[in-house]
Amino acid sequence: MPLKVPAGLPALQAVCDEGVNVEAFDASASDVLRVALLNIMPTKETTEADFIRLLATSRHNIELTLVKLDTHKPKNASPEHMQRYYKGFGEICNEHFDGFIITGAPVEKMDYEQVTYWRELQGIFDWAKRNVRSTLYICWAAQAILYHRFDVPKYLLPAKMFGVFKHTLLQPELPLFKGFDSEFFVPHSRHTEIRREDVMRAEGVELLSESQVSGVYIMTERGTRDFYITGHSEYASGTLDGEYRRDLAKGLPIEIPCNYYRDDNPQQPPVNRWRSHAEKLFNNWLDFYVNAE
């Protein structure tokens, strides 16, 4: 797929080095989809690669704009990287986009109002409603938008939801799920949850997919093209492994990620059970919601 990213972005080269085919972007193409990524994950380049890897499987011409918050300076990314490759929200707030992705963030244990950039993020949520055709809210962003729009609370889990879990569809006829198997796998990595009963009580929210173990997965607001996704379908094969070993090195309480390593042995390599699902999810989103009038 032709994909345009900020010139020189290291994540693009990293994805190409994996063997992913990213075609040259045709600036004269008339069918370009403008997609923005608000990246509030701590590992910026890893997250950039995660989404580029998936967008590169699409048949569409995509122009990807990387967006940063104006009221927050990330601790784990160099100022040079953010200055060179990202636009502040204030720089793009007068533009319209076909698609918008808002990532998770490492602030899930905090009350929303305690997050330093909460007010700006609320403004972005409202802006997206007016200026974006279809938006994906990922992990903490899904929890945050459900709280902002529908007052759905989150709850601290007794132990981290960590691993790769089996999911099912409640509305398999939706275009978002074209080509999906009846059961499929999704990585999760979070310390909080939103509960099914609260989602079902929220007027206008529809539950589309869930897991018996990891709970609600994909939701939407009825009559919109917005999707709230609690898992990390975009994760690369080794991401959970990196998180597991990071927490072990810090002496934090962490269990082996469920259903992830071969034979559940962390000395064995991870088994990627979710890649085909992730590609279908993002391609269907682009085909039927971002591209559609």
Active-site residue list? 139, 232, 234
DSSP letters spanning the chain: -BEE-STT-HHHHHHHHTT---BPP-TT-S-EEEEEEE--SS-HHHHHHHHHHHHTTSSSEEEEEEEE-SS---SSS-HHHHHHH-EEHHHHTT--EEEEEE---TTTTS-GGGSTTHHHHHHHHHHHHHHEEEEEEETHHHHHHHHHHH----EEEEEEEEEEEEEEES-TTSGGGTT--SEEEEEEEEEEE--HHHHHHSTTEEEEEEETTTEEEEEEETTS--EEE-S-TT--TTHHHHHHHHHHHTT---PPPBTTBGGG-TTSPB---SHHHHHHHHHHHIIIIIS--
